[in-house]
C-alpha cells in the first residue's frame, strides 16, 4: 500500500499533455502483433495495463520493443500464427487485456492460462466465455466464470452471429478479434453503441469490416475472417479518460484555467464533456485535428459554477469510465445530480457505485446510493470537509484513487487515499502533472 493525503490547493494553472489512450494502446499492440512485418507506434500509454498486453503478445511470439518514450516497434507473427505461451499470462489489473486476449487465443490452436490481481480475479468473464464458447473455444474458469482461467482455442473456430447482451466494447472486441482467424463472416449486433476503436483500427490494418445500422437502429458489424493484416504506423491520441480528472479539477477549483493538450474526442468517448457543459462547465475545444484517424483537440478549461443535473442514462456508454470523476464534480455543484442506468459500474476495477459513495461520504459529501446510480447533493462550490479519520479505501481502483485526489484539492482538510499504486495502471504521471498544475 502507498497511502497519500491529497491536500487542499489553490487554482490550477498551466498546460499539460495527457498520455496515450489506454484502449487504443492495447489494440495497437495486439493488431501490430498480428500483422506480418514491422509496425511503429508513437504516443503509446506506458501504463501497467498496456505493458501486460505487450508482455502477453511477446509470450505468444511477437517481437514487441520499446525504442523511446512512448515509441514502440512491433514485429507481428501474422493472424493464425500465435505461439503457445509457456507460462500463465499475468494480466495484472487489466480487464481489457484479459478479455481481448481471450478473444485472440479463442481462434488459435493454442491454450493459455490467464491470471490477475485481486480486483481482476473478482470480475466476470462469463460475458466473453459465452460467445467464445459458441465459436468453439473450451474454457476452464474459476467459480463464477472468473480468473484464473484456462482457455483452449478452436482450430478452426466457428463464425457466429452474436447480439451483445451487455453494452461492452470489451465483449465486442473479444468476438471481433476471435473472428480474425475464423473462416467466414463473424457478425456482431450492437444495440447500444460502445467505443468503436476496434472497428476503426481493424479497418485501418486492412481487415474487411463493415458496419451497418439495422431497422431497429442497432449497429451490425461484420468481419471477414482469415484476415491479412498489414503493418501500420500509429500515433495514439491522448486519453480522454485521463483528461477527465483534470477537467473536473479545473472546473471545481476557483481561479483555475488550464489547457489539456491532445485529448481524444471520439464521439463514443466524449460523454463527460457534454455532461460537464450541461452542468455549466466552460470547456473550449482548440485546434481540432485528426490523430491516428481519431478526432483530437486541446481543451481549455476554466473554473465554473456547476449546477446539478439529471444525467441521461443513454449517455453512459460514452463516459463509462468517467463516472467517478463526474461524482466528484457533482459533489461540488449547486443542487442535486441524479445518475441512473449504471449497473455496469458495479463490475469495473471495483464496485464504483459503492466505493465512490463510501469514499465521497467519508470526505463529507452527501450521497444516496441506489441500485443503479448515485444521487448527489452538491455543496454549491463550498469545499468538502475532507477526511480526518481513516483513509478512503480505493479497492485497487486507479480511477477511484485519482477522483479522490481531486476531491482532496477541493476540501478543507485534504483527503487521504489508502493506496496510490494502482494509478500506475493507466496514468503513471498523474501525480507529477497534478503537482505541476497546482505548484
Ligand atoms: C474498454 C471498454 C470498457 C471500459 C474499459 C476499456 C475497452 O469496458 O470500461 O476501461 O478498451 O474496450 P466494458 O467493455 O466492460 O464496458
- For residue 135, the SS3 value is coil
- What's the CA-to-centroid distance between 123 and ligand 1, angstroms? 12
User: In what helix (H) or strand (E) does residue 84 lie, and over which residues does it extend?
Assistant: none
- Ligand 1 pocket mutation, candidates 45, 50, 168, criterion most atoms within 8 A of CB: 168
**pTM beyond 0.85, yes or no:** yes
- What's the CA-to-centroid distance between 170 and ligand 1, angstroms? 5
pLDDT digits (tens, 9 = 90+) for 294-319: 999 999 999 999 999 999 999 999 99
Given this chain, do its domains 4-19+239-438 and 22-149+159-224 carry the same CATH topology?
yes
Tell me if 411 CB under 6 Å of ligand 1. no
Tell me if 169 CB under 6 Å of ligand 1. yes
For the beta sheet containing 161-163, the strands, ordered from the edge strand earlier in sequence to the opposite edge, are 161-163, 185-190, 219-224, 209-213
Query: What is the mean predicted confidence (pLDDT) over 385-393?
Result: 96
Q: Under a CB-based contact definition with an 8 Å cutoff, are residues 332 and 340 in contact?
A: no
User: In what helix (H) or strand (E) does residue 353 lie, and over which residues does it extend?
Assistant: helix 352-362
429 phi and psi angles, rounded to 5 deg: -100, 15
Residue 132 confidence (pLDDT): 99
pLDDT digits (tens, 9 = 90+) for 178-218: 999 999 999 999 999 999 999 999 999 999 999 999 999 99
Query: What is the mean predicted confidence (pLDDT) over 86-94?
Result: 98
Q: Given pLDDT bands bounded at 50, 70 and 90, which one contains residue 292?
A: confident
Give the atom of ligand 1 at the shortest distance from the alpha carbon of 100: 12
- Which residues are known catalytic residues? 321
pLDDT digits (tens, 9 = 90+) for 156-172: 999 999 999 999 999 99
- Ligand 1 pocket mutation, candidates 47, 119, 164, 169, criterion most atoms within 8 A of CB: 169
Whole-number percent of the chain with pLDDT over 90: 99
22-149+159-224 CATH, one of 3.30.300.130, 3.40.190.290, 2.40.40.20, 3.65.10.10: 3.65.10.10
Q: Given pLDDT bands bounded at 50, 70 and 90, which one contains residue 41?
A: very high
pLDDT digits (tens, 9 = 90+) for 3-29: 999 999 999 999 999 999 999 999 999
What distance in Å separates the CA atoms of residue 66 and residue 72, rounded to the nearest whole number?
4
Query: What is the mean predicted confidence (pLDDT) over 270-299?
Result: 97
- What's the CA-to-centroid distance between 272 and ligand 1, angstroms? 15
Residue nearest to atom 13 of ligand 1 (CA): 168
Residue nearest to atom 15 of ligand 1 (CA): 168
Which of 191-195, 271-275, 290-294, 351-355 has the least mean pLDDT? 290-294
- What's the CA-to-centroid distance between 95 and ligand 1, angstroms? 8
Tell me if 266 CB under 6 Å of ligand 1. no
Residue 293 has pLDDT above 90, yes or no: no
Tell me if 23 CB under 6 Å of ligand 1. yes
For the chain, the domains span 4-19+239-438, 22-149+159-224
pLDDT digits (tens, 9 = 90+) for 241-266: 999 999 999 999 999 999 999 999 99
**Residue 212: exposed, middle, or buried by beta-carbon count in 10 A (0-12, 13-18, 19+)?**
exposed
Average pLDDT, the chain: 98
Residue 30 confidence (pLDDT): 98
4-19+239-438 CATH, one of 3.30.70.270, 1.10.30.50, 3.65.10.10, 1.10.10.10: 3.65.10.10
What distance in Å separates the CA atoms of residue 184 and residue 157, rounded to the nearest whole number?
10
Residue 55 has pLDDT above 90, yes or no: yes
Amino acid at each position: 500500500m502507498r497511502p497519500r493525503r491529497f491536500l487542499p490547493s489553490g487554482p490550477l494553472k498551466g498546460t499539460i499533455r495527457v498520455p496515450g489512450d489506454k484502449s487504443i494502446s492495447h489494440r495497437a499492440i495486439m493488431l501490430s502483433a498480428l500483422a506480418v512485418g514491422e509496425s511503429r507506434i508513437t504516443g503509446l500509454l506506458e501504463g501497467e495495463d498496456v505493458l501486460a498486453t505487450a508482455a502477453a503478445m511477446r509470450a505468444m511470439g511477437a517481437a514487441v520493443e520499446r525504442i523511446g518514450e512512448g515509441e514502440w516497434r512491433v514485429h507481428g507473427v501474422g493472424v493464425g500464427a500465435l505461439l503457445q505461451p509457456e507460462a500463465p499470462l499475468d494480466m495484472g489489473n487489466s480487464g481489457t487485456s484479459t478479455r481481448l486476449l481471450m478473444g485472440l487465443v479463442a481462434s488459435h490452436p493454442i491454450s493459455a492460462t490467464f491470471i490477475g490481481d485481486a480486483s481482476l480475479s473478482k470480475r466476470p468473464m462469463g460475458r466473453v466465455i459465452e460467445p467464445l464458447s459458441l465459436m468453439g473455444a473450451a474454457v476452464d474458469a474459476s467459480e463464477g466464470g472468473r480468473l484464473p482461467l484456462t482457455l483452449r482455442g478452436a482450430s478452426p473456430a466457428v463464425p457466429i452471429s452474436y447480439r451483445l447482451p451487455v453494452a461492452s466494447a470489451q465483449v465486442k472486441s473479444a468476438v471481433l478479434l476471435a473472428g480474425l482467424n475464423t473462416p467466414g463472416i463473424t457478425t456482431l449486433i450492437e444495440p447500444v453503441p460502445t467505443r468503436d476503436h476496434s472497428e476503426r483500427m481493424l479497418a485501418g490494418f486492412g481487415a474487411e469490416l463493415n458496419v451497418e445500422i439495422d431497422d431497429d437502429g442497432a449497429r451490425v458489424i461484420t468481419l471477414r475472417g482469415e484476415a491479412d493484416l498489414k503493418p501500420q504506423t500509429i500515433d495514439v491520441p491522448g486519453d480522454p479518460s485521463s483528461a477527465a480528472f483534470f477537467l473536473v479539477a479545473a472546473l471545481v477549483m476557483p481561479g483555475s484555467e488550464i489547457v489539456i493538450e491532445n485529448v481524444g474526442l471520439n464521439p463514443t468517448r466524449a460523454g463527460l464533456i457534454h455532461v460537464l457543459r450541461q452542468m455549466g462547465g466552460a470547456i473550449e475545444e482548440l485546434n481540432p485535428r485528426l490523430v491516428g484517424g481519431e478526432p483530437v483537440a486541446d481543451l481549455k478549461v476554466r473554473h465554473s459554477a456547476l449546477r446539478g443535473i439529471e444525467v441521461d442514462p443513454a449517455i453512459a456508454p460514452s463516459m463509462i469510465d468517467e463516472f467517478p470523476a463526474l461524482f466528484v464534480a457533482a459533489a461540488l455543484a449547486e443542487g442535486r445530480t441524479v445518475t441512473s442506468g449504471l449497473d455496469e459500474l458495479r463490475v469495473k476495477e471495483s464496485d464504483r457505485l459503492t466505493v465512490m459513495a463510501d469514499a465521497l461520504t467519508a470526505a463529507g459529501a452527501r450521497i444516496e446510493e441506489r441500485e443503479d446510480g448515485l444521487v448527489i447533493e452538491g455543496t454549491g462550490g463550498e469545499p468538502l470537509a475532507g477526511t480526518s479519520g481513516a483513509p478512503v479505501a480505493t479497492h485497487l481502483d486507479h480511477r477511484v484513487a485519482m477522483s479522490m485526489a481531486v476531491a482532496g484539492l477541493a476540501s478543507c482538510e485534504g483527503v487521504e487515499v489508502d493506496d496510490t499504486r494502482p494509478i500506475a495502471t493507466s496514468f503513471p504521471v498523474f501525480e507529477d502533472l497534478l503537482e505541476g498544475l497546482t505548484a
